[in-house]
């Protein structure tokens, strides 16, 4: 199972929660007036030690010294216990440090679980802006330690208690995907997308899930929706290209088993259409990650297959061959160049959200955000951008040597 990368902004968490659960000063003074002066002094000394641990924990955790941060949190817990205080925040922080340390020390899962469960049992009050995280952490810790029953208990408990905490919904989707329960994953993905329609990653995962279910056209639509929201993600271009590539392989296999030459040629032609469709998204993936071997190898296969039919692919084939033979994308002359164009789309009333920006003659698209901003990758200076929105006149602009293009639609 792939470990979730978690890093909490500890300083903001401390500000939100406060450091201690110590008695108020006037309560301590009242004890002193009752004749317990030495106890009062001892309590103040302990309090000073506790305060001294605050910055040390933050420093060690921020520096990646998670084992030391854990030990400091445990020290603070023990000091608070000596004056009769259950410091639930530091039970949580000890668990948090142990969770982080478990990436290099599997024995720390037990400590993470122990401290998180102790925090809950002692009435840990979660951060107002991040309620539900402790259930995500307990689900993850139990999952990594192999206790699926307890993992699902905390996942379901967290979902019931904090349905608005989306990380738990992601956990549930990952749970389904890891077990091949794609239909259940898709159902939950649809719900998440309804609540967060501009989340490009959700559309990417939806595309992958649909592809696993054999829903090719729907998978392509989901990938294209993800690209429109974020045209700089390698994975979505690569996965989209793989869908087309696999369709081409499937049709090519049918051609190999064809009985007549006519059927063979027809299926080969259909396979070539799919292979050609795969080139543009795979080339975009290559442009985003020029030294990624999987993209280079796939493009080499595609250009080799199609170069006789499309002579313009010949230089691309030789370029990919050089890269695969040990050349670097940084030093090998490419038959293309690419760059990202950014800008703002507006109308007479101001910034225009949801406007479409497309590269003419390609599947590359973007959608403006709530501030009318967009980013889109183009192949070269000859690219033409098409800007459109409902009830407004579409505009086409040649990119040229500009990196920023602002447009007003009327």
297-355 pLDDT, tens digit each: 999 999 999 999 988 888 888 888 888 887 665 555 666 666 778 889 999 899 999 99
DSSP 8-state secondary structure symbol assigned to residue 404: B
- 243 or 365: which leads in pLDDT: 243
Per DSSP bridges, beta strands 339-347 and 407-408 are parallel
Question: What is the maximal distance between C-alpha atoms in the chain?
Answer: 106
Rounded-to-integer distance, Cα 161 and Cα 103, Å: 28
CA distances from 270 to 3, 231, 238, 251, 277 (A): 41, 28, 21, 7, 11
Indicate if the pLDDT at residue 73 is higher than 60.
yes
Q: Which two tokens stand for residue 227?
A: 């690209």
Q: What is the pTM of this model?
A: 0.60
Please give the pLDDT value at position 333: 62
| pLDDT level of residue 173 (50, 70, 90 thresholds) | confident
Please give the pLDDT value at position 262: 93
């Amino acid at each position: 199972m792939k470990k979730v990368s978690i890093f909490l902004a500890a300083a903001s968490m401390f500000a939100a929660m406060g450091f201690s659960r110590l008695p108020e000063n006037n309560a301590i003074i009242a004890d002193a007036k009752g004749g317990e002066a030495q106890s009062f002094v001892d309590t103040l000394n302990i309090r000073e030690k506790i305060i001294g641990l605050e910055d040390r924990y933050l420093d060690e955790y921020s520096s990646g010294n998670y084992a030391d941060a854990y030990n400091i949190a445990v020290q603070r817990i023990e000091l608070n216990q000596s004056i009769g205080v259950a410091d639930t925040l530091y039970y949580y922080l000890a668990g948090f440090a142990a969770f982080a340390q478990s990436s290099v020390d599997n024995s720390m899962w037990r400590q993470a679980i122990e401290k998180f469960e102790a925090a809950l049992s002692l009435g840990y009050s979660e951060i107002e802006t991040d309620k539900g995280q402790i259930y995500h952490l307990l689900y993850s810790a139990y999952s990594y330690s192999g206790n699926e029953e307890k993992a699902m208990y905390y996942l379901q408990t967290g979902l019931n208690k904090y349905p608005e905490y989306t990380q738990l919904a992601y956990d549930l989707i990952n749970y389904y995907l890891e077990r091949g329960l794609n239909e259940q994953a898709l159902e939950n993905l649809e719900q998440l997308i309804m609540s967060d329609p501009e989340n490009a990653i959700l559309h990417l995962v939806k595309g992958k899930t649909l592809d696993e279910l054999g829903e090719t056209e729907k998978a392509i639509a989901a990938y294209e929706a993800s690209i429109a929201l974020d045209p700089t993600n390698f994975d979505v271009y690569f996965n989209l290209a793989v869908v087309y590539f696999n369709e081409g392989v499937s049709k090519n296999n049918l051609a190999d088993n064809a009985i007549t030459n006519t059927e063979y040629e027809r299926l080969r032609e259909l396979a070539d259409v799919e292979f050609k469709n795969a080139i543009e998204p795979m080339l975009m993936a290559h442009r985003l990650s020029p030294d990624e071997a999987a993209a280079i190898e796939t493009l080499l296969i595609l250009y080799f297959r199609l170069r006789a039919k499309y002579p313009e692919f010949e230089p691309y084939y030789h370029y990919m061959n050089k890269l695969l033979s040990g050349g670097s994308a940084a030093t090998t002359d490419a038959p293309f160049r690419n760059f990202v164009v950014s800008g703002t789309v507006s109308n007479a009333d101001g910034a225009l959200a949801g406007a479409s920006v497309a590269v003419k003659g390609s599947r590359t698209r973007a959608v403006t955000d709530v501030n009318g901003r967009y980013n889109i990758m183009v192949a070269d200076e000859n690219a033409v951008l098409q800007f459109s929105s409902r009830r407004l006149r579409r505009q086409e602009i040649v990119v040229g040597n500009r990196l920023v293009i602002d447009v007003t639609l009327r």
